[in-house]
Amino acid sequence: MTKTTPKPRRFEISASRWPWQAGYNWRGMTNCTAPLNSGDARFGGGWKYKLGVSTGGWRDTGISFMIDLLFGIVTVRYRTRKGVDQELKWRADAVERKQRREDAARREEAAFRERVRERAERDEREAARRAALTPEQREVEDSVPF
């Protein structure tokens, strides 16, 4: 596995840049049409700072404070012990589901290869049987419509 996910902790602070920031030349954007200066909703409404609070959700693991800054987002997260244990269980279940899918795919691939091998053996036997026929027998066999 190339990507490692950090173990969930009860208190986390993370900072990240927005994904769209990498595509722009920041030093060359001084006019009023620069993406961060335009009040476009995609860019969070321009040069604004926001604070968001998230509690619960579909993964009820704790409380998150998200500070939306000009150059990215800072997330401060506190989780209950139950939430941390629940997330660890979700991760273990996800690994188990992935393993089951991979095992099923391997079994299906093996079954397909076995069917291909059996078909090749049957074709070889049929070719050997037809090679043993006389030309008259082969002509009669070929004239049968089914």
In a domain, 145, yes or no: no
User: In this predicted structure, what is the pLDDT of residue 74?
Assistant: 74
Are 18 and 73 within one domain? Answer: yes
- As a whole number of angstroms, the distance between CA 74 and CA 15 comes to 4
pLDDT single digits (tens) 36-84: 444 444 444 444 455 566 665 545 566 766 666 666 777 777 777 887 8
* Residue 138 domain flag: no
Q: Does 126 reside within a domain?
A: yes
**Are 52 and 108 in the same domain?**
no
Q: Which residues form the domain of 66?
A: 11-79
- Residue 110, pLDDT score: 98
Give CA angle at 98 (54, 83), nearest 5°: 30
Residue 12, pLDDT > 50, answer: yes
Task: Please enumerate in sequence order all residues whose Cβ is within 8 A of that of 136, keeping only pairs 6 or more positions apart, or say none.
Answer: none
pTM as predicted: 0.48
130/19: higher pLDDT? 130
- Cα 128 to Cα 130: distance, rounded to the nearest angstrom: 5
Check whether residue 108 and residue 69 sit in a common domain. no
Contacts of 7 (CB under 8 A, 6+ apart): 88
The three-class DSSP label of residue 112 is helix
Strands, sheet with 50-55, edge to edge from the N-terminal-most edge strand: 11-16, 72-79, 62-69, 50-55
- Residue 57 has a pLDDT of 54
Q: State the Cα–Cα distance between residues 107 and 67, nearest whole angstrom.
A: 48
Cβ-Cβ contacts under 8 Å for 103 (sequence gap 6 or more): none
Sign for the pseudo-dihedral over CA of 23, 29, 33, 39: positive
Q: Does 92 map to a domain?
A: yes
Domains: count for the chain: 2
Domain shared by 33 and 63, yes or no: yes
Say yes or no: 41 and 64 in one domain: yes
Task: Evaluate if residue 101 carries a pLDDT over 70.
Answer: yes
CB–CB of 63/54 below 8 Å? yes
Question: Which residues, in sequence order, are bridge partners of residue 50?
Answer: 68
Residue 3 lies in a domain: no
Percent of the chain with pLDDT over 70: 54
- Contact at 8 Å (CB) between 66 and 54? yes
Whether residue 35 has pLDDT greater than 60: no
In a domain, 1, yes or no: no
Give the single-character DSSP code of 78. Answer: E
